[in-house]
Chains A and B, each alone.
Chain A
């Protein structure tokens, strides 16, 4: 499996933008880049995913380098509720099962984001 590298921790102030980096230098052409986050004592929460182009949704933006060896999750205005562990995950489709495809998620250690009021 292709690996990802993230900083152990980052800090931000409330209402400021946050850029969370992820390196994935061994990414393959079929790997999607996913971001999930896990708030304290909760299950992980899907944030965003992409393949090649930058992506935006209501939660965040995902900026993908042209060579796809790195990506950045952007929270435009951090809130206290954004304090969580953020996981950058590469997902691939190893085979088709019953006519559909799936992606097994391999979580690393993630980045602990602390947001200061």
Chain B
């Protein structure tokens, strides 16, 4: 049973470009969470999605960031017009829909903005 997959693992973007981070949850999981870890800081919750719905985006910056989890395909975290402060590790996690509180994390995407 494959775990949570994220790609790319490393992404370099110049200031002003767009970054698209992909997350494929574990098989059978319909809950997806995105977290961000800035250098030398802890993990911060960004957004929680179920299929085709954003449930909680209280941790998302108000501008430039968006997330989706379509009916088919991976969840996407999109960052428009990236700035140097967006450089961080972005982790995706998934959980099943049977009330478990265990979240399974992917290996992360390390975004570097030059």
Chain A: residues with CB nearer than 8 A to chain B? 32, 34, 38, 42-46, 49, 91, 97-98, 100-110
Report yes or no: B97 in contact with A103, Cβ–Cβ below 8 A. no
List B contacts of A44 (CB < 8 A). 43, 91, 93, 105
**Distance (whole angstroms) from the CB of B106 to the closest CB of chain A:** 5
Kindly identify which residue among B42, B53, B103, B107 contacts A46, using a CB–CB cutoff of 8 Å.
Answer: B103
From B12-20, B44-52, B68-76, B78-86, the one touching the partner chain is B44-52
Chain B: residues with CB nearer than 8 A to chain A? 4, 31, 33, 35, 42-45, 48, 50, 53, 55-56, 91, 93, 95, 97-99, 101-108
The secondary structure that dominates the A interface is: loop
Report yes or no: A106 in contact with B31, Cβ–Cβ below 8 A. no
- Complex: how many Å from CA A45 to CA B99? 18
List A contacts of B97 (CB < 8 A). 100
Report yes or no: B101 in contact with A103, Cβ–Cβ below 8 A. yes
Report yes or no: A105 in contact with B50, Cβ–Cβ below 8 A. no
List B contacts of A42 (CB < 8 A). 107-108
